[in-house]
Copies of this chain bind each other. A is one copy, B any other.
Amino acid sequence: MAERSRSLWLRTTSARPDPPLTVERITAAAVELLDEDDVGQLTMRRLADRLGVGTTTLYWHVDTKEDVIDLAVDAVFAATPPPPPGDDWRADVTTLLTERRAALLRHPWSAVMRRRPAVGPGFLSWMEFLQATLTRAGFTSRDVTAASWVLYSHVQGSAASQATLRWSVAERREGQLMLERHSASYPTLAAQRHLLDDDWDTNFALGLAYVLDGLTARAAAGAT
């Protein structure tokens, strides 16, 4: 009896070394792969290898590589579900965006790969929370729409710029030298020294404040 159950265990683990392939497992493996080397070296062959499966098997679960990327991008959205709504809309928006930004910095490829905002469940829940918050705060439908897109661009863009403008020390020095050599053309940039080495936490917070202040002012003015 003991003998039998041991052999069953052994048999089970060797016969089904992996759980059955699902879209979820494909998505998880894709995120893993993209996290590992940011270059976007995601390959259908590598992905299949990682899952212990023939390359062509993927195509039964997924139509195209584009699909895999959309799934991965949406998974990052889903990884930070919207917080419970509070009674301060500015705080709610700030929390939502701050958490989104943290997720983007954890998975820089999903900020840099600017494909269609894949309208998967993750993105939709995120947008729903954002627009619901703004609606509850009393903004016009037009303002809600416009504001949600500026805010979306702001998180995505800020994370993408931060991720792609990460220079080596040598590049930074070389870049600053280049700016100074052409300081006739770029006096402001050369003098300011912020272009190549910057505090993105502050840039993000200040930018968010501008948008929220502008929105608040517009509401107070009782616009359309």
Residues of A within 8 A of B (CB): 112-117, 119, 121, 124-125, 127-128, 131-132, 135, 141-147, 149-150, 152-154, 156-158, 160-161, 164-165, 175, 179, 182, 185-189, 192, 194-195, 198, 202-203, 206-207, 209-215, 217-218
Contacts and interface: CB of A to CB of B under 8 A. Distances in A.
A214 B220 CA distance: 13
Given A213-B217, A217-B213, A192 B146 contact: no
Contacts of A198: 145
Given A141-B192, A145-B192, A186 B124 contact: yes
A187 B193 CA distance: 46
Q: Secondary structure of the A side of the interface?
A: helix
A18 to B, nearest CB: 32
18 contacts: A114-B164, A116-B165, A117-B164, A117-B165, A128-B185, A132-B188, A141-B192, A149-B158, A149-B203, A150-B206, A152-B161, A153-B154, A153-B207, A156-B157, A209-B214, A210-B210, A210-B215, A214-B217
A116 to B, nearest CB: 4
Nearest to A192: B141
> How many subunits of this chain does the assembly comprise?
2
A146 B214 contact: no
A220 B165 CA distance: 32
A100 to B, nearest CB: 14
Contact of A157 (B113, B141, B157, B206): B157
A117 B187 contact: no
Contact of A207 (B121, B124, B150): B150
A210 B214 contact: yes
Given A124-B189, A150-B158, A153-B154, 11 more contacts: A119-B175, A124-B185, A142-B206, A145-B192, A145-B198, A146-B206, A150-B210, A150-B211, A153-B158, A209-B218, A214-B214
